Chains A and B, each alone.
Chain A
Amino acid sequence: MNVWLDAILILILILGLFIVTSTRLGTMIQIFSMQSVFLGCVPFFLYAKDMEAYIIIVALAAIVLRGFVMPNFLFWAIRHVSVRSEVSPFIGIGTTLLLSGFSIAGSFLLASKLIFPVSISSGLVIPSSFSLIIMGFLLLVGRTKAISQVIGYLVLENGIFLFAILLLKKMPLLVEMGILLDLFIAAVVMGIVVNHISDEFNNTDTIVLTTLKD
């Protein structure tokens, strides 16, 4: 019964819901940063009994990279392309909220059916990671602005990271760092893409990418 870990995981889920429902890009980035900091704290609670140096390094790297470097980069991006808010998402805010609520319930049901080889001290880790992945996916498919899609991708990556934390003992450190690097490159690439879209088309709506220009 790890109440603090449960509290942090539920907080992460609620912050995820906030990201999914807000339309202002600045708010989304700030909340994403908060969520990532909390996510970086999860290993300290999960491995409180047998803490090792590389776990601390991975957690701190996650906090710094996801919580501070990435949001700063995203803020730079929205300053650069001067987009402030998501005007007309494909999937409305209310629908997204309900869908993510059901996805959370669904992930809890799914996680209760799974048999996991490693023993976990909290039953909430796997469902939270599934729900984060689905929420990130909802952002990816439901929004039109490239930057909110990047944030969706990052939320999805947060979910994957949460799952990977469980395997921290079995997985080599290299793979963990690989995930962080992967994420960083993804954000850089998306940033470049965003800037190029805005240079070419004067806005960052990804809808315009589907129509051919002749």
Chain B
Amino acid sequence: MNVSLLLHLTILFVFPPLLLGFIGKTKAFFAGRIGPPLLQPYFDFFKLMRKASVYSVTTNWIFRAAPMVSTAAILAAGFMTPIAAFKPPVQFWGDIILFVYLFALARFVIILAALDTGSSFEGMGASREATFGCLSEITMFLNLTILALLSGSLSLSEIFLGGLSSSWLLVGPVLILVVVSFFLVLLVENSRIPIDDPDTHLELTMIHEVMVLDHSGADLGFILYGKAVKLFLFGSILVSIIFTFKTQDLLTDTALFIFEIIGLAIFIGVIESTMARLRLNKVPYLLFSAFIFSVIGFTVILVRGHS
């Protein structure tokens, strides 16, 4: 039990920035460049940690607390997420609801901090984030509801470590809908390319990036780290839906999981390199379609029965 717990925590805390490294490498490969080293996100993190933060005089404690609260909330969600075949350290009946709302809390404090700066530019980003956030949240809830109906459990660990593999045989099409819809939610929540470009600073279309412009030093480091962990958590849930095969051997499962999630990162990188960013007024359509995919899946489950 202790080995599994240790592995869970190590992967949760150490691994996430590497995903960003893989995405960056993939994009560099498509652009014909060598690109930054795989460990670049770690270097950035440590560089930011050494720097002092600058606070505007218009801000108050909310602005200072937001990076810590949001990172802590995301990490707390990480404690409940089943990674590879490990039993998560925290699990109880109904933790999927807390799981979703921890992400909502993280988003909420960042929005508050953005409003706290008093800059109208950041307020605009906050409004966009809130709009897309409320659309993606309902989709995510619906997807988790489908999974909960299929596995007959309201706990993340039982959903993902239990019997999704038999569901693939019975209601495979529905699970494909869930995967597609969840992948779109992943792209929206982590502001990846068809929705938002994490690398540019072009004012017109920025969503997430615009809200953290005023953060600096260790605060910015925490925010970037929290973002990486969020991407990792969404990715690990997606991977646990798709690949239900488990060998029951701890180390093999971990290695498999690492390969799968790196594959997902490379896939995201491919999408970012081959697709252009959507116009901002088209983004809600993408979210509507993700929502409707899960609505179709939900109704199919209701009609077909979920046993």
Q: Which residues in A have some Cβ–Cβ distance to B below 8 Å?
A: 1, 3, 6-7, 9-10, 13-14, 17, 21, 93-94, 97-98, 100-101, 104-105, 108-109, 111-112, 123-124, 127
Q: Are B285 and A13 in contact (CB under 8 A)?
A: no
Question: Taking the nearest CB of chain A, how far is it from the CB of B168, in angstroms?
Answer: 9
A interface majority secondary structure: helix
CB <8 Å contact, A101 and B302: no
* Residues A7 and B285 in contact, CB atoms below 8 Å apart: no
Given contacts A105-B299, A108-B300, contact A6 B289 (CB under 8 A): no
Indicate if B177 sits at the interface (CB-CB under 8 A). Answer: yes
Pairwise interchain contact A100-B292, C-beta atoms closer than 8 A: yes
Are B176 and A7 touching (Cβ within 8 A)?
yes
A17 touches B303 (CB 8 A): no
Contact A104 B296 (CB under 8 A): yes
What are the residues of chain A within 8 A of B222 when measuring CB–CB? none
Contacts of B282-307 to chain A: CB distance below 8 A: 284-285, 288-289, 291-293, 295-296, 298-300, 302-304
Assuming the contacts A10-B173, A10-B177, asked whether A97 and B300 have C-beta atoms less than 8 A apart, the reply is no
Q: Contact between B173 and A7 (Cβ–Cβ < 8 Å)?
A: yes
A84 to chain B, nearest CB (A): 18
A121 to chain B, nearest CB (A): 13
A101:B284 contact, CB within 8 angstroms = no
CB-CB under 8 A from B1, the residues of chain A are none
Q: Are B172's CB and A7's CB within 8 A?
A: yes
Max count, chain A CB within 10 A of own CB: residue among B284, B295, B299: B299
Q: Which of B169, B176, B296 has the most CB of A within 10 A?
A: B296
CA distance A121 to B172 in the complex (A): 17
Select A105's contact among B174, B295, B304, beta carbons within 8 Å.
B295
Q: Kindly report which residue of chain B lies nearest to residue A6, judged by CB atoms.
A: B173
Residue of B nearest to A102 (CB): B295
Could you jot down 20 A-B contacts, CB within 8 Å?
A6-B172, A6-B173, A9-B173, A10-B173, A21-B285, A21-B289, A93-B285, A97-B285, A97-B288, A97-B289, A97-B292, A100-B292, A104-B292, A105-B295, A105-B299, A108-B302, A111-B303, A112-B303, A123-B303, A127-B299
* Most chain B Cβ neighbours within 10 Å, of A17, A108, A123, A127: A108
Q: Which residue of B170, B289, B298, B300 is within 8 Å of A10 (Cβ)? A: B300
Could you count the A-B residue pairs with CB atoms below 8 Å apart for me: how many are there?
64
Is there an interface contact between A108 and B303, defined as CB atoms closer than 8 Å? Answer: yes
* Complex CA distance for A14 and B299, rounded to whole angstroms: 14
Further pairs besides A10-B300, A101-B292, A105-B295: 17, Cβ < 8 Å: A3-B173, A6-B171, A6-B172, A10-B173, A10-B174, A10-B176, A13-B296, A17-B292, A21-B285, A97-B285, A98-B288, A104-B296, A104-B299, A105-B298, A108-B303, A109-B299, A124-B300
Measured between alpha carbons, how far is A17 from B180 in the docked complex, in Å? Answer: 14
Query: Could you tell me if B172 and A94 are in contact, using CB atoms closer than 8 angstroms?
Result: no
CA distance A21 to B290 in the complex (A): 13
Complex-state Cα separation, A53 to B284, whole angstroms: 47
Residues of A within 8 A of B174 (CB): 10
Question: B170: which A residues are within 8 A, CB to CB?
Answer: 1, 3
CB-CB nearest in chain B for A92: B285
Taking CB atoms, residues of chain B closer than 8 Å to A3 are 169-173
Alpha-carbon distance A101/B292, docked complex (angstroms) = 5
Distance in angstroms between the alpha carbons of A85 and B9 in the assembled complex: 53
A103 to chain B minimum Cβ distance, whole angstroms, is 10
Chain B residues with CB under 8 Å of A7's CB are 172-173, 176
Question: Least Cβ distance of B182 to chain A in Å?
Answer: 15
Our pick among B169, B289, B291, B304 for the contact of A123 (Cβ within 8 Å) is B304
Residues of A within 8 A of B172 (CB): 3, 6-7
List, in ascending order, chain A residues with CB within 8 A of B169's CB: 3
Q: Which B residues between 135 and 171 are near A, CB-CB below 8 angstroms?
A: 169-171
Nearest residue, chain A, Cβ from B169: A3
Which residues of chain A are near B171, meaning CB under 8 Å? 3, 6
How far apart are B164's CB and chain A's nearest CB, in angstroms?
15
Q: Tell me if A127 and B303 are in contact (CB < 8 A).
A: yes
**What is the minimal beta-carbon distance from A27 to any residue of chain B, in angstroms?**
14
What 8 A-B pairs have minimum CB-CB distances, sorted nearest first? Answer: A101-B292, A108-B299, A7-B173, A10-B173, A6-B173, A97-B288, A105-B299, A108-B303
A94 B288 Cβ-Cβ under 8 A = yes
CB-defined contacts of B293 to chain A, threshold 8 Å: 14
Q: Which of A9, A14, A100 has the most CB of B within 10 A?
A: A14
Most buried by B among A9, A94, A127: A94
**Chain B residue with the shortest CB-CB distance to A95:** B288
- Chain A residue contacts of B303, Cβ below 8 A: 108, 111-112, 123-124, 127
